[in-house]
């Protein structure tokens, strides 16, 4: 038996409850993992509240990532006792996810837990931090160096944004943090931001081209915020877009792209190839200050995750929500 948060739907009404399940209910997969830690990500919050159709079928165990130890495996790359990490691959959407004491998945979706991290640290980083690192790598691959100019990070106090600020600052970039929560200014400066921008300045319709400010940007917002960020990029600036917290639409013009040569790079963490995942985790091991990581983490037990989901959607969560699961061997 194991505990899991379960989403179900009856008569178009979704429910989210903590249940105790028999292991024979686990979905197909050639690796069974005893989950030690999971997280609450923005996508998980959407799923738990039913605010977006994240769950593709029911019942569904949410949780788009986890870290734990292999219990059983018929996959050639993994054996019992191996520490592993999973991010994405439709887990928590199409396949039961990590907000549970047990998970059964395809071994092709797993990577070995990097030796530089404990399971707790890996999930302190989680999918949000791994996505942030994919964004940083995208800026680098497009030639954006610290000498190019300031880098704007939207949603900077959230999971992706806070890790992005910390990593970019350690790499020597001049990081400007955008947030709608001015009370988080000291926290963001502690992470390495040189200055703070009020999100309200970018939330209303702006000009097709604004004053050139940013050599690069990491955007978790989408919507009008992303449109205004693109309009304020320097010539040949690069925007790495990975979120839609401010909306899925992009009410922009082509002006920044054809008059300033701005590049908009889409970042998908769900289906990213294994080589990119390994590169991102390797870089996190060297480019994220583990001391700062502790400042990003809030621990929430499994039985309190559901109530935290709406707070996350309302922008009331700072940094990362870490969920210690740590099923016992005889669970």
Q: Are residues 134 and 217 in the same domain?
A: yes
Residue 331: predicted pLDDT: 37
Instruction: Tell me whether residue 105 is exposed, middle or buried, using C-beta atoms within 10 angstroms of its C-beta: 0 to 12, 13 to 18, 19 or more.
Output: buried
Is residue 105 located within the same domain as residue 143?
A: no
- The reply to whether omega before 59 is within 30° of 0 (cis) is yes
Question: Domain boundary at 216, 242, 266, which?
Answer: 266
Q: Is residue 198 part of a domain?
A: yes
In a domain, 281, yes or no: no
pLDDT value of position 327 = 52
**pLDDT < 50: residue spans in the chain:** 328-331
Tell me the residue range of the domain where 150 lies: 128-266
- Are both 153 and 254 inside the same structural domain? yes
Query: What is residue 318's predicted lDDT score, i.e. its pLDDT?
Result: 78
Q: Are 96 and 87 in contact (CB under 8 A)?
A: no
Q: Are 199 and 313 in the same domain?
A: no
Nearest CA to 41 among 105, 117, 125? Answer: 125
- Number of structural domains the chain divides into: 2
3-state secondary structure of 316: coil
Tens of pLDDT, residue by residue over 250-269, are 999 999 999 999 999 999 99
- Give residue 288's pLDDT: 93
State both tokens at 22. Answer: 């028999």
CATH code, domain with 32: 3.90.180.10
């Amino acid at each position: 038996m194991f505990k899991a948060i379960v989403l179900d739907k009856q008569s178009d009404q979704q429910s989210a409850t903590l249940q105790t399940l028999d292991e024979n209910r686990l979905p197909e997969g050639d690796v069974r993992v005893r989950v030690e830690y999971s997280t609450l990500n923005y996508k998980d919050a959407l799923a738990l509240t039913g605010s977006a159709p994240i769950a593709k079928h029911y019942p569904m165990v949410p949780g788009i990532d986890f870290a734990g130890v292999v219990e059983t495996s018929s996959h050639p790359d993994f054996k019992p006792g191996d520490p592993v990490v999973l991010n994405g691959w439709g887990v928590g959407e199409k396949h039961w996810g990590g907000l549970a004491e047990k998970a059964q998945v395809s071994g092709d979706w797993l990577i070995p837990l990097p030796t530089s991290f404990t399971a707790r640290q890996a999930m302190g980083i989680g999918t949000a931090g791994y996505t942030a690192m994919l964004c940083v790598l995208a800026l680098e691959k497009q030639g954006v160096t610290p000498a190019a100019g300031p880098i704007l990070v939207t949603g900077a106090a959230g999971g992706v944004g806070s890790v992005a600020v910390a990593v970019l600052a350690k790499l020597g970039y001049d990081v400007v943090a955008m947030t709608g929560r001015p009370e988080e200014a000291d926290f963001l400066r502690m992470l390495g931001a040189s200055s703070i921008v009020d999100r309200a300045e970018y939330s209303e319709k702006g000009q097709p081209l604004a004053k050139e400010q940013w050599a690069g940007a990491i955007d978790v917002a989408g919507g009008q915020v992303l449109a205004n960020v693109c309009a304020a990029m320097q010539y040949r600036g690069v925007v790495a877009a990975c979120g839609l917290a401010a909306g899925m639409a992009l009410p922009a013009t082509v002006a920044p792209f054809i008059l300033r040569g701005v590049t908009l790079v889409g970042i998908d963490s769900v289906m990213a190839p294994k080589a990119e995942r390994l590169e991102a985790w390797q870089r996190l091991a060297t480019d994220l200050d583990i001391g700062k990581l502790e400042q990003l983490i809030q621990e929430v037990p499994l039985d309190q995750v559901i109530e935290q989901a709406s707070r996350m959607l309302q922008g009331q969560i700072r940094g990362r929500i870490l969920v210690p699961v740590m099923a016992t061997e005889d669970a």
